[in-house]
Amino acid sequence: MATAQERSLLQQLINGQIDKDTYESEVAKIREPARTPEAVANNPFKYTVSGQGYLTLDAIEQEYRDKLKESASDTGNIDIGVARAAQNTAKIKTDYMLSDEYQDDIEQDRLDKIKKNAEDTEGMLNVDVMRGIQNTTTILKKAVTDAQTTLDNRKKDTPTEGTPTEDPLPGDPLPGDPPPEDPPPTVVTPVVEEDDSLFGRLGGQIWNVGGQKYIAFDIPRTGLSMAYTATEEQIDNFFTVDKPQEQTIDSNSDKWSKSFQSGNIVEVDVVNMEASGVVDSLNK
């Protein structure tokens, strides 16, 4: 549930007094749990993941999904403030994990543990403790490498063949072409286009689940959806133009099991959300 401070920030955003970046940053500060003095003293890292401690991309993204599920279970609706704060916190933690600052913190953590080992043993370093320190450092650094690889793979476009560095002479076959005596193969590549007819205003979809109609919204990068019950009249009022095609969703399907039944569509303050850009940004 949004706090009074969060509602005040949202109102400032709607009124144009602050921009979206400021709104997201301030809400993230409110939502981020405060670190106790004991936690700060025992943990050199600026950010950790609840229940695990050290950062991995999987843990950060799971923490984001858990916050959305927790919000839905508490109120029946996913609080937009919670969703944006969770999204912003996940980005902050990911950026930190991939930064030089985190590498410095890992090294400082290693040195601090070695120093403590030396103090505890009066200079006679415990070999098993030293091995554990090294293994921990290796795990932390491998998590960074794995995260960077995963994010790079997500950004990759379809590989394209390289172009020759020199122009071929007239009559010469281009690199990769079949020999002149062979006829060039005919390759038919099917064109796959996204079915825009399934999506309407704010990325909304119309679902029919066992005769009950819903207006549903996908939550980016989670595989989850929010589904709001709606009558035919409410659907027509919501999709005044470009009404999407209705989809029949099986109540036993994976798609339905990964959706939150978030109340009725009239409970969503779409006008304010649309004006502030909050809902739009969730669908980017």
Please state the rounded mean pLDDT for residues 209-231: 85
Residue of 117, 283, 83 whose CA lies nearest to 200:
283
Q: Which two structure tokens, joined as six digits, stand for 91? A: 């980005």
pLDDT exceeds 80 at position 101: yes
Q: Which of 220-224, 260-264, 271-275 has the highest mean pLDDT?
A: 260-264
- Are residues 215 and 228 in contact, defined by beta-carbon separation less than 8 angstroms? yes
Query: In the predicted model, what is the mean pLDDT of the chain?
Result: 75
Residue 210: pLDDT band with limits 50, 70, 90: very high
189: left (phi over 0), alpha (psi -120 to 50) or beta: beta
**pLDDT score, position 176:** 56
pLDDT exceeds 90 at position 144: yes
**pLDDT score, position 64:** 86
pLDDT exceeds 60 at position 13: yes
Please state the rounded mean pLDDT for residues 247-252: 92
Residue 103: pLDDT band with limits 50, 70, 90: very high
**pLDDT score, position 270:** 66
Domain boundaries, the chain: 4-155, 196-282
pLDDT exceeds 70 at position 256: yes
Report H helices in the chain.
Answer: 4-14, 20-31, 37-42, 57-75, 80-97, 100-120, 127-155, 232-238, 254-257, 270-276, 278-282
**pLDDT score, position 250:** 92
Look at strands 259-264 and 224-229 and give their pairing.
parallel
Q: Which of 2-11, 170-179, 243-252 has the highest mean pLDDT?
A: 243-252
Look at strands 246-248 and 205-209 and give their pairing.
parallel
pLDDT in tens, 21-73: 677 767 776 665 554 544 445 667 888 887 666 789 988 988 888 888 887 77
**pLDDT score, position 126:** 82
**pLDDT score, position 3:** 62
Please state the rounded mean pLDDT for residues 113-130: 82
pLDDT in tens, 72-87: 776 667 777 778 888 8
The lowest-confidence range among 6-10, 145-149, 257-261 is 6-10
- Are residues 150 and 97 in contact, defined by beta-carbon separation less than 8 angstroms? no
pLDDT exceeds 50 at position 280: no
